[in-house]
Amino acid sequence: MIKIERIKAKLPDVQPQSVKQQFERHAAVAMLLRDKDQRTEVMLIRRAENDKDPWSGDLGFPGGKIEEDDSSPRAAAERETYEEVGYRLTAENYLGQNDDLIGAYLSVHISCFIYQIDHEIPFKPNNEVVDLFWVPLQTLLDPPRNQQLTFFYRGRNRKHPAIKLDEWSERPLWGITYRLLDNFLRHFDLSFTYPERR
């Protein structure tokens, strides 16, 4: 079990891997954690259905494109969190940065910043978000939930590792958010256990 105290102690020593090459887009997201009933939980949102959004309907973290007015990728993640779920993150919430990722199919560079929330978030979604829920990190590591699933994406069926979260959403967790969480867990010598790894 990953306690929030362990996360807070570890993250300041983590040197996140950055992406040097240029991509068409640079996006930033916020991974929000909380301690509830002696378990560390992570917040996930479900994005609204939108034909113009490559992550339409998917589970993920609040975040989006870094705008010219944003002073930094972290500032963009905090702005997007406020816009999408109505919660204003501060320096007191900040724990550290995760490794950067690049998209598997899209020319996008994603930066991920990690925060701790000490209380319930008043859910005030904008039109980009249809749901918000918290999932224990330990639940994500449950082997039966870790599966290889087929997704229709960008014109064809593709198999990807995913996590079934039926109690919270009919949509599984996969893609960039899955990879961000897997990278995060590796800092604590943990990783997801989809069938090929068993």
How many other C-beta atoms are found inside a 10 Å radius of the C-beta of residue 154?
9
Mean pLDDT for the chain overall:
87
Contact, 105 vs 154, CB < 8 A?
yes
How many other C-beta atoms are found inside a 10 Å radius of the C-beta of residue 127?
8
**Per-residue model confidence (pLDDT) at position 153:** 65
**Per-residue model confidence (pLDDT) at position 197:** 44
What percent of the chain has a predicted confidence (pLDDT) above 70? 87
The model carries a pTM of 0.90
Top-confidence residue, 41 or 160: 41
**Per-residue model confidence (pLDDT) at position 101:** 87
pLDDT digits (tens, 9 = 90+) for 92-117: 999 999 999 876 666 678 999 999 99
**Per-residue model confidence (pLDDT) at position 21:** 64
Query: Is the confidence at residue 186, as pLDDT, over 60?
Result: yes
Q: CATH for 4-137?
A: 3.90.79.10
80-102: average pLDDT: 93
Strands, E assignment, 38-107: 39-47, 59-60, 63-65, 94-97, 101-102
pLDDT band at 154 (very low <50, low <70, confident <90, very high): low
pLDDT digits (tens, 9 = 90+) for 120-144: 778 888 988 999 999 999 999 999 9
**Per-residue model confidence (pLDDT) at position 189:** 92
**Per-residue model confidence (pLDDT) at position 155:** 67
First to last CA, the chain: 19
Q: Which of 9, 4, 12 is nearest to 34 (CA)?
A: 4
**Per-residue model confidence (pLDDT) at position 198:** 41
How many other C-beta atoms are found inside a 10 Å radius of the C-beta of residue 53?
13
**Per-residue model confidence (pLDDT) at position 156:** 72
Query: Is the confidence at residue 82, as pLDDT, over 80?
Result: yes
Element (H, E) at 161: strand 156-163
pLDDT digits (tens, 9 = 90+) for 15-70: 887 776 666 688 999 999 999 988 999 999 999 887 776 667 889 999 999 999 99
